[in-house]
Chains A and B, each alone.
Chain A
């Protein structure tokens, strides 16, 4: 199975900050990577697919990059509604696997 490791596990930031979350795959997955946002008690929301493509309706302050084994999610100017847990997910091979999550908290 491909292991997805996110770092950091949690991060504190302020409104207006720029935040970067990293996801590393245990083996190469080309660009078969997605990022999701999950708020308490809610289902996950797709933000980025194909490592860098923005899902329709997602604000442009979210961006993704990377290929192979190393990927990043960047939020350029944090808004209050961005405080949530973020997960990466590989879509390269079975079983599909998620990272353990990164909790983005308000400083």
Chain B
């Protein structure tokens, strides 16, 4: 069974940093691309960052470019999101999501989310 478990969320002051982690199990982590998607309270979904399955390139939304960095540790089956220079508008539940296949950015499994509050 595929499982994704996020951690690392919490309350942080504006300008601060947090590092989110996503522990993956139930599939061969190194074979799949992964992304982070966030959802502000009461709002819709926003893709944040992701790995391309084809060449492991990383991509970020313009709203976080230069502030957030996605990384992965295949030896530990873990995905990370380093968030720096946090702003109030970054407050959201952050989900890690597995891509359905290497070549398509469809998210077939999601974690339960971790809440980040910037205040």
Contact = CB atoms under 8 A, between A and B. Distances in A.
A43 B45 contact: no
Given A43-B110, A44-B107, A100-B44, A95 B100 contact: no
B45 A87 contact: yes
A76 to B, nearest CB: 22
B95 A97 contact: no
Contacts of A54: none
Given A49-B100, A95-B61, A101 B105 contact: no
A91 B104 contact: yes
Interface in A44-66: 44-46, 49-50, 55
A98 B100 contact: no
Q: How many B residues are at the interface, by size bracket?
A: 20 to 34
A71 B105 CA distance: 17
Kindly state the interface size class of chain A when it binds its partner: 20 to 34
Contact of A49 (B45, B95, B104, B112): B104
A89 B97 CA distance: 14
B44 A99 contact: yes
Interface of A: 1, 32, 34, 36, 38, 43-46, 49-50, 55, 87, 89, 91, 94-101
30 contacts: A1-B62, A32-B104, A34-B107, A36-B45, A43-B110, A43-B111, A43-B112, A44-B107, A46-B100, A46-B107, A46-B108, A49-B100, A49-B104, A55-B100, A87-B44, A87-B45, A89-B47, A89-B106, A89-B107, A91-B104, A91-B106, A94-B59, A95-B47, A95-B61, A96-B47, A96-B50, A96-B105, A98-B45, A98-B46, A100-B44
